Amino acid sequence: MEFKDYYEIMGVARDATQDEIKRAYRKLARKYHPDVSKEADAEAKFKAVGEAYEVLKDPEKRAAYDQLGSQWQAGQDFRPPPDWDAGFEFSGGGFTGADAENFSDFFESLFGGAQGGHYRSRRRHTQMRGEDKHAKILIDLEDAIEGSTRQVTLRIPEVTADGHVTTRERTLNVRIPKGIRPGQHIRLAGQGGQGMGGGPAGDLFLEVEFRPHRWYRVEGADLYLDLPVTPWEAALGATVKVPTPKGPVDLKIPAGSSSGKKLRLKGRGLPGKSPGDLYVVLEVALPPADTEDAKRLYKEMQEKMSFNPRAHLGV
């Protein structure tokens, strides 16, 4: 059985619009009509054009045919692939330019026989669920801390009824669940691709990303905060105020701390069944030597303190 390239028969591109297909059919039907054409093979061409139009004029038949892909060539030996999905029920407006028995074995292998003036697949499934769609959404850390509803505008790729791939803007109200993490998904049921044959729409999955925060870094459910401390706070120990997503708290800095030391505030990260933690990373900040008094104090430290920060390097 030979594969039939219906687009080639109609002389149109695979992304042709329905109007372009209709115009091509009218032109070819006039050209090859047996009552008009004097070409020897006019009747065969007229039937081929009618069969091609029967498929391409119907968005459901066309979508099913397009599932075969563009790798098949006209005249190539064809058998329906094992994963060919004939799970459509086609109930268009009858036949075009020919009786059912005049359509080819190729058509029969894809769409089955005629019943009651309509073509139906051999399998009696009537619906196909729409395709799931995926996009990304940027949220603020505060959205995940408290939960919120945000209005977002997305550019969603879609396949139109006439076979074109296009994008359109969709504005949706999205509920941000409290405690959601970066990389997790928000599922919007029924907001994906349209179903076929009356089937349900697919879902839209939004992958969550966080906007950079002025203070915190997010790693999973945990938050990290770089906290500047003075040399005397680090050396002698102190209790200082630390910002957290729920408000400032007191943090005790152990004596003898140095830059890079991490202090954990348990449960102060992203909320959830297992809430994350807030890690405070100390950064010892040196006061500037921008006055005479400041320079004098640094010189006294130099003279009175025996301190070599490079001793561990052997120098």
- In this predicted structure, the answer to whether residue 200 has a pLDDT above a threshold of 50 is yes
What pLDDT does residue 175 have?
Answer: 93
pLDDT surpasses 50 at 216: yes
Strand partners, 160: none
Residue 55 has pLDDT above 50, yes or no: yes
For 83-87, what is the mean pLDDT?
45
Phi, psi angle pair for 295, to nearest 5°: -65, -40
Segment 307-312 shows an average pLDDT of 85
Let me know if residue 299 belongs to a domain: no
Residue 59 has pLDDT above 90, yes or no: no
Average pLDDT over residues 29-42: 85
On the question of pLDDT at 114 being above 70, the answer is no
User: Hey, what are 310's tokens?
Assistant: 């490079």
* Residue 308 located in a structural domain: no
Domain containing residue 48: 6-119
Number of separate domains in the chain: 3
Q: Can you give the CATH number for the domain in which 274 is found? A: 2.60.260.20
- Name the residue with higher pLDDT: 65 or 115: 65
Q: What is the pLDDT of residues 259-303, one digit of tens each?
A: 999 999 999 999 988 999 999 999 999 999 999 999 999 999 988
In a domain, 93, yes or no: yes
- 11 with 97, same domain: the answer is yes
The reply to whether 170 and 91 lie within a common domain is: no
**% pLDDT > 90, the chain:** 39
Can you give the pLDDT at residue 248?
94
Strands of 262-265's sheet, edge to edge?
A: 216-219, 222-229, 278-284, 262-265
Q: Rounded CA gap, 299 and 285, in Å?
A: 18
CB 131 within 8 A of CB 29: no
Least confident of 119-128, 165-174, 178-187, 190-199: 119-128
pLDDT of residue 227: 96
Are residues 76 and 114 part of one domain? yes
Structure tokens at 190: 């029924």
Same structural domain, 205 and 220: no
Lowest-pLDDT range of 55-59, 96-100, 159-163, 188-192: 96-100
Q: Is residue 296 part of a domain?
A: no
Place of tokens 């102190």: 238
Indicate if 10 and 103 belong to the same structural domain. yes
In terms of Cβ atoms closer than 10 Å to its own Cβ (0-12, 13-18, 19+), residue 306 is exposed
Task: Please give the biggest Cα pair distance in the chain.
Answer: 115
Whether residue 163 is found in the same domain as residue 250: no
pLDDT of residue 58: 78
Domain endpoint, select from 192, 210, 228: 210
Q: Give yes or no for residue 177 having a pLDDT over 80.
A: yes
Give all strands (DSSP E) within the chain, no chain letters.
114-115, 118-119, 133-139, 148-159, 165-176, 185-188, 204-210, 216-219, 222-229, 238-242, 249-253, 262-265, 278-284
DSSP structure class, residue 254 = P
Per-residue pLDDT band at 41 (split at 50, 70, 90): confident
pLDDT exceeds cutoff 70 at 85: no
Is 125 part of any domain?
no
Closest to 67 measured CA to CA, from 201, 139, 159, 133: 159
Mean pLDDT of 82-100: 45
The answer for residues whose C-beta is within 8 angstroms of residue 49's C-beta and 6 or more apart is 9, 10, 25, 28, 29, 32, 97
- 175 with 257, same domain: the answer is no
Answer yes or no: is 78 within a domain. Answer: yes
204 shares its domain with 221: no
In this prediction, residue 169 carries a pLDDT of: 80
Nearest Cα neighbor of 276 from 186, 236, 188, 216 is 216
Q: Is 60 exceeded by the pLDDT of residue 191? A: yes
Q: Are residues 65 and 106 in the same domain?
A: yes
Place of tokens 């100390």: 282
Q: Is the pLDDT of residue 118 over 50?
A: no
Whether 224 has a pLDDT exceeding 70, the answer reads yes
CATH of the domain at 59: 1.10.287.110
Q: Is pLDDT of 5 > 60?
A: yes
In a domain, 104, yes or no: yes
What is the spatial distance between Cα 253 and Cα 257, in angstroms, rounded to a whole number? 7
Whether residue 315 is contained in a domain is answered as no
233/200 same-domain check:
no
pLDDT of residue 28: 92
**Domain-terminating residue out of 88, 119, 150:** 119
Distant-in-sequence, close-in-space partners of 222: CB < 8 Å, separation ≥ 6: 269, 270, 276, 277, 278, 279
Contact between 187 and 153 (Cβ < 8 Å):
no
Q: Which of 5, 40, 15, 12 is nearest to 26 (CA)?
A: 12
Of 191, 210, 229, which marks where a domain is finished? 210
Is pLDDT of 237 > 70? yes
pLDDT at 233 exceeding the cut of 90: yes
The pLDDT assigned to 253 comes to: 96
> 136 vs 54, 140, 147, 209, 233, CA distance in Å?
40, 13, 18, 7, 43
> How many Cβ atoms sit within 10 Å of the Cβ of residue 290?
8
Residue 11 sits in the same domain as residue 90: yes
- The backbone region for 71, taken as left when phi is positive above 0, alpha when psi lies in -120 to 50, beta otherwise, is alpha
Give yes or no: residues 16 and 80 share one domain.
yes
